[in-house]
Amino acid sequence: MASRKRKIEVYDTTLRDGTQGEGVTYTVHDKVHVARKLDELGVHAIEGGWPGSNPRDAGFFDEIKKVRLSKAVIAAFGSTVRPGLRPSADASLKALLKAETPVVTIVAKTWDLHVHEDLRIGLDENLELISKTVEYLKKRVDRVILDAEHFFDGYAAKPEYALECVQTALEAGSDLVCLCDTRGGSIPSQIETATKAAAETGAKLGIHCHNDSGLAVANSLAGIEAGAEQVQGTINGFGERCGNASLCSVLPNLQLKMGYRCITAEQLARLTEVSRLCAELANVELDRHLPYVGRSAFAHKGGLHVSAVRKNAVTYEHIEPTVVGNEQRVLISDLSGRSNVVHKAEQFGIDIAGRHDELKELLGELKELENTGFQFEGAEASFELLMRKNLKRTKHFFKLVGFRAIDEKRSEEQVTLSEATVMIEGPDGTIEHTAATGDGPINALDLALRKALVKFFPAVDEVQLHDYKVRVLDGQEGTGSIVRVLIESGDSKRRWGTVGVSHNVVEASWQALVDSLVYKLLKDEEEAEAAPPKQPRRRTKGGRSRRS
């Protein structure tokens, strides 16, 4: 690690710039929830939105006033006064002040192209807008930040004017000027050169990069190295077009690789939790390959890799996963070697000492199943059941006698009716025959199976279906293609994944559903066996019983 360096202020704009990303939307309640988590993460400033631009942002600023944050301050975002208006008459600036935030961030043009083509005013008039806006706000709020929009493009085109914008903001009282790579087209060497030039004005600087060239994180790091004291970004890199610099990469890189002080080690360990929360609330599927926080960031699949990692994780992991709140994962697939299976057995608590031949058979079956379409990377519960079956450590809780699923549509106007019947043999040999209707044949089958099992195993009522995915594995056969069904189930204690594969989607779903319920029963039984025995009660002289 590099030697101890200066403190870097972390400015999060997930709730403003991040929501400009395609498919990213938060309710007012969501935004408040995210703000609380960002505060726990140790973020210093949270940009909540643009007051007056939409009801959701206005609602956030009203609600966040009721929340006591431990460290973070809330920033409101807006633009410089409109040409031809006094600041006191500008509705946008009035809305900013109404938000009553201790920090106000103002975006200003610093590229002559934008001044001429967008604002359609002269360069000197643009400088006047910057000056009088900053002066007006500085008298009314604790801290004013100027976002120098398109600064790096402006510096490349007309460097003296871009720097004059920074100097003007500084002289007007701006506490910090954040240099923005708004188009996201710069490279680290350009960022470094322009930031060093801006630093010569004496202004305290920040860096704000977009990812249109895939360099937002690298450019942010270059800006810090060149003298910026604040880094702006979003969780998971959410943002317009290709997104913003991801704080989920920027923070660990600055802190773990470069020696800067951003947040505490305890706060950094929350990074993965915050990453997944922000994706979940936005209803966005998180890229599993995200550095540091993605589910695949510390996942190992190849047999040689797993063998090495089991001996020393440093061989294939550049940091300890728990430092950022993530975890090491060993995947099971047709690329797996013996080390993968041994690791999983240890994880499942299965004793495999002296069972080399059986492990070899299991590995062979695994590769054959994967060849036919099974995938166990997201279905570890099914793999554990497969392992137990091969090692003869499984228990047959019930036996299928038969099932039937029927779809019926009696006319074009009526909805399709789905019914399923299930016949099983319970653990005591009793035959249970049940039927159920549902929203489609799979739902009907699920309900009928549960109805049949609940008499013997009441705990199946605790199982909830969290996700159901069907994937066609080879579309060349059309509707006769093999499909893979992945189911994620859970109860109050855990979540687990199961898989089924067949030409028949009902059959594939049945396989995954049965595995899901069997896994639940297996884990409940294991917990019951592991629980300490209850102490017998004995009578006292007064007739009351108490634990011995």
Q: What band does 369 get if pLDDT is binned at 50, 70 and 90?
A: confident
Q: Among the listed ranges 169-183, 210-224, 430-444, which one has the minimum average pLDDT value? A: 430-444
**Residue 267, pLDDT score:** 96
Pairs from 469-476 (Cβ < 8 Å, separation ≥ 24) = 470/505, 470/508, 470/509, 473/373, 473/501
Helix (H, G, I), strand (E, B) or coil at 276: helix
pLDDT in tens, 17-47: 999 999 899 999 999 999 999 999 999 999 9
pLDDT in tens, 246-258: 999 999 999 999 9
Helices 380-390/338-348 angle, 10° precision: 100
Separation of alpha carbons 380 and 384, rounded Å: 6
Contacts of 256 (CB under 8 A, 6+ apart): 1, 319, 323
Mean pLDDT of 515-544: 74
**Residue 326, pLDDT score:** 87
Rg, Å, the chain Cα set: 30
Side chain identity at 452, as an amino acid letter? Answer: A
Nearest by Cα to 170 from 207, 140, 199, 209: 199
Contacts of 438 (CB under 8 A, 6+ apart): 418, 419, 420, 444, 445, 446, 447
- In 80-224, the DSSP E strands lie at 103-109, 143-149, 176-181, 205-209
**Residue 545, pLDDT score:** 47
**Residue 203, pLDDT score:** 97
**Residue 1, pLDDT score:** 41
Among left, alpha and beta (phi > 0; psi -120 to 50; other), residue 49 is left
Separation of alpha carbons 201 and 212, rounded Å: 28
CB-CB contact of 25 with 36 (8 Å): no
Side chain identity at 241, as an amino acid letter? Answer: R
**Residue 339, pLDDT score:** 58
Nearest by Cα to 60 from 45, 74, 70, 71: 74
For residue 116, CA distances in Å to 91, 124, 177, 506 come to 23, 11, 22, 63
Contacts of 212 (CB under 8 A, 6+ apart): 183, 184, 185, 241, 242
CB-CB contact of 465 with 492 (8 Å): no
Q: What band does 298 get if pLDDT is binned at 50, 70 and 90?
A: confident
**Residue 2, pLDDT score:** 43
pLDDT of 394 strictly over 80: no
Q: What band does 79 get if pLDDT is binned at 50, 70 and 90?
A: very high
**Residue 546, pLDDT score:** 47
CB-CB contact of 270 with 41 (8 Å): yes
Three-class SS of 343-407: HHHHHHCCCCCCCHHHHHHHHHHHHHHHHHCCCCCCCHHHHHHHHHHHCCCCCCCCEEEEEEEEE
pLDDT in tens, 483-494: 888 888 988 888
**Residue 272, pLDDT score:** 93
pLDDT of 543 strictly over 60: no
pLDDT of 432 strictly over 70: yes
**Residue 154, pLDDT score:** 97
CA angle 139, 145, 146 (to 5 degrees): 110
Mean pLDDT of 441-451: 92
Residue 70, judged by CB atoms within 10 A of its CB (0-12, 13-18, 19+), counts as: exposed
Output the average pLDDT for the chain: 87
**Residue 114, pLDDT score:** 93
Q: Percent of the chain scored above 70 by pLDDT?
A: 85
pLDDT of 534 strictly over 50: yes
Q: What band does 134 get if pLDDT is binned at 50, 70 and 90?
A: very high
Separation of alpha carbons 376 and 511, rounded Å: 13
Mean pLDDT of 407-416: 84
Other CB atoms closer than 10 Å to residue 66's CB: what's the count? 7
Joined tokens for residue 157: 């085109």
pLDDT in tens, 139-192: 999 999 999 999 999 999 999 999 999 999 999 999 999 999 999 999 999 999
Q: Among the listed ranges 76-80, 280-284, 433-437, 510-514, which one has the minimum average pLDDT value? A: 280-284
Mean pLDDT of 516-521: 91
**Residue 411, pLDDT score:** 82
Separation of alpha carbons 220 and 12, rounded Å: 13
pLDDT of 541 strictly over 60: no
Side chain identity at 483, as an amino acid letter? Answer: V
**Residue 3, pLDDT score:** 47
3-state DSSP: the chain helix, strand, coil percent, rounded to 5? 45, 20, 35
- Better-predicted residue by pLDDT, 378 or 334: 378
Other CB atoms closer than 10 Å to residue 362's CB: what's the count? 22
Mean pLDDT of 111-136: 95
CB-CB contact of 297 with 304 (8 Å): no
**Residue 470, pLDDT score:** 86
Q: What band does 103 get if pLDDT is binned at 50, 70 and 90?
A: very high
